[in-house]
A and B are shown apart, each in its own frame.
Chain A
């Protein structure tokens, strides 16, 4: 068992086209570290230089926004599902 991470469409280029990958960690921060080890380049799209989550990216653990839990210190365990959802600007012109 591991933790399932759902990768948003634009970042799937960095995960060999996979929409879901398996990672490990006891917290969201650890998980993102593991994600970066397995798929280099992903983390910088999710976090800024200081390692803080970018403000237009939301992370959900089992469908709960981590902003309403303990942020990147939110505890996770095997079998959990983590979704990464970025804002999208695109539309008209």
Chain B
């Protein structure tokens, strides 16, 4: 396909990377990614993916921008308060890189729309704020065979895990059952620092760029955790559980479909 002069100028610094190069860039330009949540994690992740030239980005969020978002949700500016997050994000990303396609999806991920929404993308990044959505994204990605980059942050800590369906540990392999509502603290109640969501979101973008650009080793089967008190990264090995309810050895497609639909009840 070859790159235009504009593209060579814009992406020159990453074209210089031998691991990435023209081949990686061409792959990115043809690739698509869906971001669930345009908040603290989705903001930096979307900025880096758009800037790097991922051909089509889907942005999924049903909420409007609030003043209390701005300390960490760096996609949105003060004037965007009250506007829908996906519209604000779309405008910002189009201004950053007019050559890519940015699709604004003003909805929540639900059992009823998950498969339809995720189907047309090569990869999914989950930066949502609640466990039912996270398990739904996980289950739908396993069902569809889509790589999923899972990232989470609260207070001064964060986690990232890349999930290659049926090949590496999924969210349910690591944490088999979703916690009940209120069983886990929320950022709304417990707070979070923007630099922590920034680190985790940027790492999520990095994982996506590796998979879409076709280089490096995915952060699969390794749960990477960040401790923002000492500023340390640690990883623990995780593995696919052959008994996993969604990606286990004997699970049928119809079983996962049932689990995805059951998620609607949560």
Contact = CB atoms under 8 A, between A and B. Distances in A.
Contacts of A65: 236, 238-239
A43 interface: no
A60 B239 CA distance: 12
A68 B40 CA distance: 34
Interface string A28-72: 000000000000000000000000001110101001110010000
Interface string B227-239: 1111010101111
Contacts of A85: 159, 223, 225, 236
Contacts of B61: 92-93
A92 B155 contact: no
In the complex, which range does the number of interface residues on chain A fall in? 20 to 34
A10 B152 CA distance: 14
A9 B37 contact: no
Given A89-B131, A91-B37, A55 B175 contact: yes
Given A8-B157, A63-B237, A85-B223, A90 B175 contact: no
Nearest to A9: B157
A92 B42 contact: yes
A9 B241 CA distance: 27
Interface string B24-48: 0000000000001111111000000
B255 interface: no
A13 to B, nearest CB: 10
Given A56-B175, A58-B174, A17 B37 contact: no
A59 B215 CA distance: 32
Contacts of B187: 90-91
Nearest to B189: A90
B232 A83 contact: no
B200 to A, nearest CB: 9
B213 interface: no
A63 B236 CA distance: 6
A54 B192 CA distance: 23
A19 B227 contact: yes
Given A83-B236, A92-B129, 11 more contacts: A56-B177, A56-B178, A56-B183, A58-B175, A63-B236, A88-B158, A88-B184, A89-B152, A89-B186, A91-B41, A93-B61
